[in-house]
Amino acid sequence: MGSFDQTKAYAPQEDTFFDDGREIELLHFVYSHPNLEKIRGSPKDVLAAIDEYGRTQKYLMNVGEDKGRIVTDLIAEVKPKTMVELGGYVGYSCILFGDAVRKAGGQRYYSLERNPEFAAVIMSLVDLAGLSDVVKVVVGSSDASLARLHSIGTLEHIDLMFLDHYKPAYTTDLKLCEELELVTPGSVLAADNVIKPGNPPYLEYVRSTVQQKRENVKEGKKGGNVEGIAEKNVKQYANRYKEEKFSQSLGNPNLVYESKLVNSFEPTGVPDGVEITRVPIYCRHVLKNVLLLFLSVLMVPISSTLVVLSFLYSKLRQAPRPIEPHNGDAGRKTILVTGTSMTKGLTIARLLSQHSPHRIIGADISALSPGRFSTSLSAFHKLTAPDGNDAEPYIDSLLSIIRKERVDLWISCSSVVAAVEDGTVVRLAEQAMGENFKAIQFRDDVVETLHKKDKFIDYIGSLDLTIPESHRCTSAEEALYVLVKGKHASGHNDDEHGRDGRKYILKPIGVDDRARNNMMTLLPFRTVEETKSYVKSLDITPSNPFQLQQFIQGEEYCTHALIIRGKVTAFVACPSSEMLMHYFALPAESQLSQAMLSFTQRVAKDRGEDFTGHLSFDFLVPSAIPMAAEKRRREGQPEVVIYPIECNPRAHTAVALFSSTPQMASAYLSVFESTSTLQDEEIVTPRIPTYEYYWVGHDLVTLLILPVLDIFWGLASADDAVQGWLEFCEHVVGWRDGTFTFEDPVPFWVLYHVYWPMKFLESLWEGKRWSRINVSTTKMFAD
């Protein structure tokens, strides 16, 4: 978004800002303009005269120059034969877009305006601009006009629709257009004022999945939803139209929309946005799932050959003798590893089966979990998937496995959605199984504290460790209090860098894939208005709190640690790569790794004897040495400053770096030893030489295939593609795949030829759109 040119600003919007005679006054202004003869027949000059009135006389509720450009660019791209606008007012958008449609070779621009006086103004100015051959002004309520134009056969299809009328009617009129098949694949929608004053029901509708829309239809949801629309906008036309009527159409929930917000400005300079929604013909969603399914089939011969070769290799190779427990079968324990569809669960199961004498069993919420087919597991159980509203079925299914299998040790590799539930299972399982039962999993209260971004930062601050300035916000006002007024909510200012120029990021405290996509927006913006508008567009409420956190320019690192009764027994730190699909360990003795280890040890020690589980942190290491480092240097302390930004009290995929470290199995088994035998110095780190890890499926798509498609679409050069291919070759030759091993190759085959294809088919069937997938954690991120 560029900046707003203040010299072009309209007069400010007053309490009464339309329908007070100014529309007729505008006609007089234009028709008595000294340049009238130049204006005649020139859309550009008619618009300039309207703008002049808006700047020098009174505010007009026009789309304006800045947002108008977004739509004229869209017209040039879409080249609509037929364009419809809902809400014409005095004809500004009608003249601007009608002219653009004509220039793009279009045939008809319909302006639907309910107020006959305004419609007369539009007609007069359209005529003055010389656009009457293209523009047709239709007087009446938009829903009635759409239905009538359709029934008489005048309007058969809408290529581009501009929605700019009564805010609650955006969604109901769109559903009507869907039902009448005026909006079909190929149509494009541009909705004005989605930021100012805002239209949450419309945004929710065009951004929801087919599945969600089908559910709403099943529940019979129709009519005008005014939730989230400011009351003054709901009542905007109450003076003339006492009771608003809405189309009761249920729409067509099967249409897939691709929607995005384009930020811009009102003609007064206030930030606003236009939501551009496309109904793709060869829907990208379908295309990408079908292509990935095709790729999976294409690769079957290669993967299968690899599996056969691995079996031959295992046969030829002298198989290592199974490790026997010291006291025979009596000493053999049952170890349950959950989360075996993920690389982390599979890695731990393989490590323990290879380097311990115990019986390893696995469990996962997916019946097609790749780990199920691993030779490391003696048995596999399917867990009931955790459901946000009712955790009991998940907890019960896990507890019943622990009881039935008489599990001695449970190693949890839960995903983020089951983190707290797993903490509950530990408590219940300890009660049920007695003190001999062990678990590598923190209890629920600990998970809650560490997992919630706000509680975690408060806790770390209480340990006197360095933290970034952070604020928990339950409303837009709370965030703006810091961003605009530059004050801490607490009123105190402990800043050692000086507040001037400090930037922040605003992130949801809970799990919200969509909001995560905008998480890196740096705040505040240049003007207070822009900042206010952006912050208010986020759904910050007491039930959906956000964290406003100081932005630290620097490198991000992540860690994985195994903590046994308050002691770090295994640790690795590595740079965070995009999507976390490439891993290499920092040298354990490096200053940076040591700083992160000390931090982890400090937390583990503070939590004490009851603290057993996987612990991982995300850190930011500033690129410029901050004042804190300077101070440390002067005081003779190590100058590495690390800012913890998040804690994940669960296993991290970085555990894959321990795949060839047999001592890691002993680290897990040390949970059976007494506390006194655990030594601080005995920390297992990845065996040297440590390998770098990647996931071949991810790299095949991102480094080999996408760059080729990008060349095709003109988005990348051949050099970029060659770079990607070289990187891919380097990984295949020198790195290790996170899932594949010669000793246990079937999970790899299942991952790429069963698990993911089933996910893509499910996505197609249920219309679940995804923006990216993580091969290692088997997670699909909602679009």
Ligand X SMILES: C[S@@+](CC[C@H](N)C(=O)[O-])C[C@H]1O[C@@H](n2cnc3c(N)ncnc32)[C@H](O)[C@@H]1O
CB 122 → ligand X: shortest distance, Å? 9
CB 149 → ligand X: shortest distance, Å? 13
* d(C-alpha 460, C-alpha 607), whole Å: 12
Q: Residues near 272 by Cβ (< 8 Å), separated by ≥ 6?
A: 67, 192, 193, 194, 195, 196, 263, 264, 265, 266, 533
Among the listed ranges 60-68, 129-137, 379-387, 682-690, the one in contact with ligand X (CB under 6 A) is: 60-68
CB 165 → ligand X: shortest distance, Å? 4
By C-beta, is 104 or 144 nearer to ligand X?
144
Q: Does 644 bind ligand X (CB under 6 A)?
A: no
39's enclosing H/E stretch is helix 36-39
3-state secondary structure of 443: coil
One character per residue 154-193, x = contact with ligand X (rule: CB under 6 A): ----------xxx--x------------------------
* d(C-alpha 588, C-alpha 619), whole Å: 16
By C-beta, is 141 or 547 nearer to ligand X?
141
CB 128 → ligand X: shortest distance, Å? 15
Q: Residues near 329 by Cβ (< 8 Å), separated by ≥ 6?
A: none
By C-beta, is 168 or 362 nearer to ligand X?
168
Q: Does 224 bind ligand X (CB under 6 A)?
A: no
One character per residue 318-337, x = contact with ligand X (rule: CB under 6 A): --------------------
Q: Does 61 bind ligand X (CB under 6 A)?
A: yes
CB 118 → ligand X: shortest distance, Å? 5
Among the listed ranges 110-118, 194-202, 205-213, 434-442, the one in contact with ligand X (CB under 6 A) is: 110-118
Determine if the peptide bond prior to 689 is cis (ω within 30°). Answer: yes
Q: Does 741 bind ligand X (CB under 6 A)?
A: no
By C-alpha distance, which of 241, 256, 238, 86 is closest to 173? Answer: 86
Q: Does 126 bind ligand X (CB under 6 A)?
A: no
Residue nearest to ligand X (CB): 87
Q: Does 92 bind ligand X (CB under 6 A)?
A: yes
Give the residues across from 119 on adjacent strands: none
One character per residue 476-495, x = contact with ligand X (rule: CB under 6 A): --------------------
* d(C-alpha 252, C-alpha 415), whole Å: 35
CB 366 → ligand X: shortest distance, Å? 48
CB 32 → ligand X: shortest distance, Å? 21
* d(C-alpha 666, C-alpha 35), whole Å: 89
CB 110 → ligand X: shortest distance, Å? 11
Q: Does 213 bind ligand X (CB under 6 A)?
A: no
Distances (CA, A) of 252 to 183, 216, 752: 9, 11, 34
CB 117 → ligand X: shortest distance, Å? 9
- Contact yes or no for 507/519 (Cβ under 8 A): yes
Q: Does 63 bind ligand X (CB under 6 A)?
A: yes
By C-beta, is 51 or 164 nearer to ligand X?
164
- Contact yes or no for 643/619 (Cβ under 8 A): yes
By C-alpha distance, which of 750, 742, 776, 778 is closest to 372? Answer: 750
By C-beta, is 93 or 441 nearer to ligand X?
93
Q: Does 112 bind ligand X (CB under 6 A)?
A: yes
By C-alpha distance, which of 269, 89, 270, 277 is closest to 196? Answer: 270
By C-beta, is 62 or 778 nearer to ligand X?
62
Q: Does 93 bind ligand X (CB under 6 A)?
A: yes
Q: Which amino acid is at 476?
A: A
CB 538 → ligand X: shortest distance, Å? 24
By C-beta, is 193 or 414 nearer to ligand X?
193
By C-alpha distance, which of 439, 474, 430 is closest to 454? Answer: 474
* d(C-alpha 727, C-alpha 704), whole Å: 9
Among the listed ranges 108-116, 322-330, 339-347, 391-399, the one in contact with ligand X (CB under 6 A) is: 108-116
Name which position in 54, 87, 345, 724 contacts ligand X (CB under 6 A).
87
By C-alpha distance, which of 536, 529, 538, 524 is closest to 264? Answer: 529
Q: Does 139 bind ligand X (CB under 6 A)?
A: no
Q: Does 66 bind ligand X (CB under 6 A)?
A: no
Question: DSSP readout, 668-705?
Answer: HHGGGS-GGG--TT--B-PPSSPPPEE-HHHHIIIIII
By C-beta, is 63 or 348 nearer to ligand X?
63
By C-beta, is 141 or 601 nearer to ligand X?
141
For residue 147, how far is the Cα from the chain centroid? 38
CB 120 → ligand X: shortest distance, Å? 12
Name which position in 22, 114, 207, 333 contacts ligand X (CB under 6 A).
114
For residue 642, the number of C-alpha atoms closer than 13 Å in the C-beta half-sphere is 23
* d(C-alpha 410, C-alpha 361), whole Å: 10
Q: Does 58 bind ligand X (CB under 6 A)?
A: no
Distances (CA, A) of 425 to 356, 372, 384, 409, 523: 25, 22, 14, 13, 40
Among the listed ranges 80-88, 258-266, 296-304, 529-537, the one in contact with ligand X (CB under 6 A) is: 80-88
By C-beta, is 166 or 599 nearer to ligand X?
166
By C-alpha distance, which of 416, 682, 456 is closest to 569? Answer: 682
Q: Does 88 bind ligand X (CB under 6 A)?
A: yes
CB 2 → ligand X: shortest distance, Å? 20
Among the listed ranges 89-97, 531-539, 551-559, 623-631, the one in contact with ligand X (CB under 6 A) is: 89-97
For residue 699, how far is the Cα from the chain centroid? 21
* d(C-alpha 209, C-alpha 781), whole Å: 13
By C-alpha distance, which of 35, 131, 41 is closest to 85? Answer: 131
CB 237 → ligand X: shortest distance, Å? 6
Q: Residues near 259 by Cβ (< 8 Å), separated by ≥ 6?
A: 203, 206, 207, 275, 276, 277, 278
CB 480 → ligand X: shortest distance, Å? 26
CB 420 → ligand X: shortest distance, Å? 47
Name which position in 4, 89, 583, 617 contacts ligand X (CB under 6 A).
89
Instruction: For the segment 235-254, give every residue that binds ligand X (CB under 6 A).
Output: 237
Name which position in 118, 437, 694, 760 contacts ligand X (CB under 6 A).
118
Name which position in 72, 82, 115, 616 contacts ligand X (CB under 6 A).
115
CB 167 → ligand X: shortest distance, Å? 9
Q: What is the CA radius of gyration of the chain?
A: 31
- Contact yes or no for 445/423 (Cβ under 8 A): yes
* d(C-alpha 587, C-alpha 182), whole Å: 62
CB 91 → ligand X: shortest distance, Å? 7
Q: Does 131 bind ligand X (CB under 6 A)?
A: no
How many residues of this chain interact with ligand X, rule: CB under 6 A?
22
**Exposed, middle or buried: residue 321 (CB in 10 Å: 0-12, 13-18, 19+)?**
exposed
Q: Does 62 bind ligand X (CB under 6 A)?
A: yes
Q: Using CB under 6 A, list all residues that contact ligand X.
A: 61-63, 85-89, 92-93, 112-115, 118, 141-142, 164-166, 169, 237
